[in-house]
Chains A and B, each alone.
Chain A
Amino acid sequence: METPVLERSSEKSQIQGVVDCDVHPAFSKPDQLLDYLPERWKTHVRDFAVRTANPLLGTLPYPRMTPGNGMRRDSWPPNGGPPASDLAFLQQQLLEECNIDYGILQPLAAGSMAFNQELGAALCAALNDWQIDKFAGPEPRLKASICISQEDAKESVAEIDRRVTDRRFVQIAMPPRTLEPCGRRRYWPIYEAAEHYGLPIGLHTSAFGYRPNTPSGWSSFYLEEHYAASNSLQTVLSSMILEGVFEQFPKLKIVLVEGGFSWLPSLVWRLDREWKRMRDEVPHVKRKPSEYVRENFWYTTQPIEEPENNRHLLDILRWIGTDRLMFSTDYPHWDFDDPRFAFKVPLTPAERSAIFRDNAVELFGLK
């Protein structure tokens, strides 16, 4: 029989090695990506810059307490450059110290957000080359994401086709704050390609995008923005289910990254209840929303909700299913979770190894 163990008291050896589903690589100099752009776009960026919905060009909208857009203060590489730009230091501080066997790269760069969609596609391609060149190439424990300019679905599919034979890419990445809700048909060619290749789509929360960060506009405080991270992923989940995406693409795998997960039970209870009442409005949604939730969605753990009583979190975990959750650190960001100390709930060894490793190994095909 399996006995629950307290995460805090656990030793390194209890988990074989963690899979970290959210690692943010950084450029070692601000315009490093330009080196990967064709001359036509290099010139364009020099003369016109990259225009995005981000209110301040080239920055995140908040300093978030620490220098460099909210980084762990201890993550600045001793040899210079911003956090997570120096592979050797990342290997030491993240992979070695935290016992991480695989890290999934989630680049947060302007490609998918550029107003000029042609430029956006070029930036995404550059970002994909850069991930391989600087991280996933030299370090096989790091796996890349195929970044796409999702608003131009045709171009996105072309980029997926170009990258898919390179096994160092293990997912497709697009942001949740799209021009239209994620379930809309304009994005379906992307879903078709993802399902065809069996590649999960990771939607990493973002503070900004084509829409303000709350449904009623830009928030005043960073504290408000943090809630909005979940909000944008709730929109993704509801929209994709109710537009019928999973009827069309039943094998599509969606990973909701960095939005928390405690909101899931109440949202799904509500969706199920209203679906029973109003399903004539959406006859293409043939099953209860909760059934798609259990088959098509996965969630990364960071930032983990921390209730006063840890056991409350356990109830939520069990409802969601420990087979749907995948550990993530969000390195090198300020709200980083340390796999040795972050999950302060009693889990069985099987649950622990599912969350910290096995679910991701299976979903991303890591061996």
Chain B
Amino acid sequence: MSTTPTREKRPPARHVVARVDEIAPGASKLVHVEGRDIAVFNVAGEFMAIANRCPHEGADLCKGKLTSLFESDEPGVVKMSRHGELVRCPWHGWEFDLRSGKSWCDPARTRVKSYDVAVEHGARLVEGTYRAEVFKISVDDEYVVLEL
């Protein structure tokens, strides 16, 4: 019996897009990778990235404000969670979940692409297959690495 040969997936390209200390907690950076505009956010030390263009009218999401999830089971009782993990569009305020790219208002239809982000030590980057177009890597620093 023949089995379908398992084909290797194309490995994602890893791009070094910032030094960790370049994006303060709560702040963002717009990066251009392989022709795409991507907004990278620092959420309390964790880095997250989504496509920069808002699907509504096209505002730059990197200029949006980080916010939390507000929920209420009844008037007067408000739960606040997921601090800083949503970005609110700088124009009309639609909110997008930075982890999934889904919009809060219409998750099924309205979303932006989200990207995987890691933090790597400079020493590892020097050895690996990472692309750093802008940065001269120093082995002592930490870097934000975007996969796509």
Contact = CB atoms under 8 A, between A and B. Distances in A.
Interface string A326-353: 0000000011111011100000000000
A65 interface: yes
B90 A341 contact: no
Contacts, number: 35
A74 B53 CA distance: 13
Interface in B59-76: 59-60, 63-65
A337 B56 CA distance: 10
A334 B93 contact: yes
Interface in A273-295: none
Given A73-B63, A73-B64, A73-B65, A334 B92 contact: yes
Contacts of A72: 59, 90-91
Interface string B48-62: 000000001111100
Contacts of A74: 59-60, 63, 90-91
A235 interface: no
B92 A335 contact: yes
B15 interface: no
Contacts of B102: none
Of the four ranges (under 10, 10 to 19, 20 to 34, 35 or more), the interface on chain B belongs to 10 to 19
B57 A65 contact: no
A73 B64 CA distance: 7
Contacts of B111: none
Contacts of B64: 73
B58 A65 contact: no
A66 interface: yes
A97 to B, nearest CB: 11
Interface of A (DSSP majority class): loop
A322 B64 CA distance: 34
Contacts of B63: 73-74
Given A337-B57, A341-B57, A65 B88 contact: yes
Contact of B58 (A66, A73, A335, A341): A341
Nearest to B106: A308
Contacts of A334: 91-93
A72 B88 CA distance: 11
A23 B58 CA distance: 20
A359 to B, nearest CB: 22
A123 B92 CA distance: 32
B65 A66 contact: yes
Given A65-B88, A72-B90, A338 B57 contact: yes
Contacts of A337: 57
B40 to A, nearest CB: 17
Nearest to B90: A73
Interface in A284-337: 334-337
B91 A65 contact: no
Contacts of A338: 57-59, 91
A336 B93 contact: no
A76 B88 CA distance: 17
Contacts of A73: 63-65, 90-91
Contacts of B57: 337-338, 341-342
Nearest to A342: B57
A126 B56 CA distance: 39
B58 to A, nearest CB: 5
A66 B63 CA distance: 12
Contacts of A341: 56-58
A131 B65 CA distance: 32
B68 to A, nearest CB: 13
A73 B54 CA distance: 14
A336 B60 CA distance: 13
Nearest to A336: B91
Contacts of B93: 65, 334
A221 to B, nearest CB: 12
Query: Which 4 residue pairs are nearest across A and B when measured between Cβ atoms?
Result: A73-B90, A74-B63, A341-B57, A338-B57
9 contacts: A72-B90, A74-B59, A74-B60, A74-B63, A74-B91, A336-B92, A337-B57, A338-B59, A338-B91
Interface of A: 65-66, 72-74, 334-338, 340-342
Given A65-B88, A73-B65, 15 more contacts: A65-B93, A66-B90, A72-B91, A73-B63, A74-B59, A74-B60, A74-B63, A74-B90, A334-B91, A334-B92, A336-B92, A338-B59, A341-B56, A341-B57, A341-B58
